[in-house]
Amino acid sequence: MNTQTNQYTPRIVRGRVELWVTHKDSEIAFVYPSTGPGNYQTVGNEILKNNKLPAAEQTASLLHAAYCIPDVKDEPEFQNVREIMKERWLWVFNGNLWTNKGVYVFADEKVEGRDKKITVNELEKMVGEGTARFAPKETYTFGEQTSKILSQNGFVIASYGTEGAEKLGEISAKFKYNPYVYGVEVNKGSAPELRVSALDGNDGGLHVVGYLFDLSRGGHAFGVFP
């Protein structure tokens, strides 16, 4: 006789690993292990099946714990975060529309990457609503810079917020070499270019990257528990 009811399905619930880190005035739990390696859209969509995408500011907080907090940075899970940074991309789910006047940064909540259709006018409206940020060209520089200059870089602040940029500056000081910022130089009269973001530390320095196409297959990301 079948005594199983339609209300319940047999299932197994096993333990999960949560990486809790301080974020702003609270804390946040990341899913461990990471999702990846894979391209931007594959990794992001896999995370969205069960969890939330990390905001750029949240990813900065995760890395800050992994590099700068003595109580946890030597735990194997946080060591793994640093290993990923050394060997692969860590995807940051931001869209960056580079123009000849500056860069618009917005959260890519649907992981559309470069498939997203968005205009400068739409982004200007989003900036006014507080759902996107704009960094004028004169507020940022590309290439090698000090940790302090990184934390004040307009593109970095637009991407990670003021607190996140400060954390990245502190993180970058833990590396052997100075940090680098990568973006797109758009000349006057040229069309805006949409790219996506990542972080890595694969040659001994922190790289804040905003010029990637979304097809690179080497990236990871850590989801956030709902």
Q: Report the candidate in 72, 93, 73, 57 with the shortest Cα–Cα distance to residue 221.
A: 93
Nearest-10 Cα torsion for 17, 21, 27, 28:
-50
- Asked, for residue 12, whether it belongs to a domain, the answer is no
C-alpha 83/C-alpha 64 separation (Å) is 14
DSSP string of 155-171?
HHHHHHHHHHHHHHHHH
User: How many residues are listed for the chain in this entry?
Assistant: 226
- Asked, for residue 105, whether it belongs to a domain, the answer is yes
- Asked, for residue 109, whether it belongs to a domain, the answer is yes
Residue 194, φ and ψ in degrees, nearest 5 = -100, 125
Q: Compute CA 79 distance to the chain's CA centroid, rounded to the nearest angstrom.
A: 18
Q: Report the candidate in 88, 117, 67 with the shortest Cα–Cα distance to residue 212.
A: 88
- Asked, for residue 21, whether it belongs to a domain, the answer is yes
Number of domains in the chain: 1
Q: pLDDT tens string for the chain (226 positions)?
A: 454 545 676 777 678 899 999 999 999 999 999 999 999 999 999 999 999 999 999 999 999 999 999 999 899 999 999 999 999 999 999 999 999 999 999 999 999 999 999 999 999 999 999 999 999 999 999 999 999 999 999 999 999 999 999 999 999 999 999 999 999 999 999 999 999 999 999 889 999 999 999 877 789 999 999 9
Domain of residue 158, residue span = 17-221
- Look at the alpha carbons of 146, 218, 190, 155 in this order and tell me if their dihedral is positive or negative: negative
- Contact between 216 and 40 (Cβ < 8 Å): yes
- Asked, for residue 4, whether it belongs to a domain, the answer is no
Retrieve residue 92's tokens: 């940051």
- Contact between 114 and 196 (Cβ < 8 Å): yes
- Asked, for residue 41, whether it belongs to a domain, the answer is yes
Q: How many CA atoms does the CB half-sphere of 102 hold within 13 Å?
A: 19
- Asked, for residue 32, whether it belongs to a domain, the answer is yes
- Asked, for residue 2, whether it belongs to a domain, the answer is no
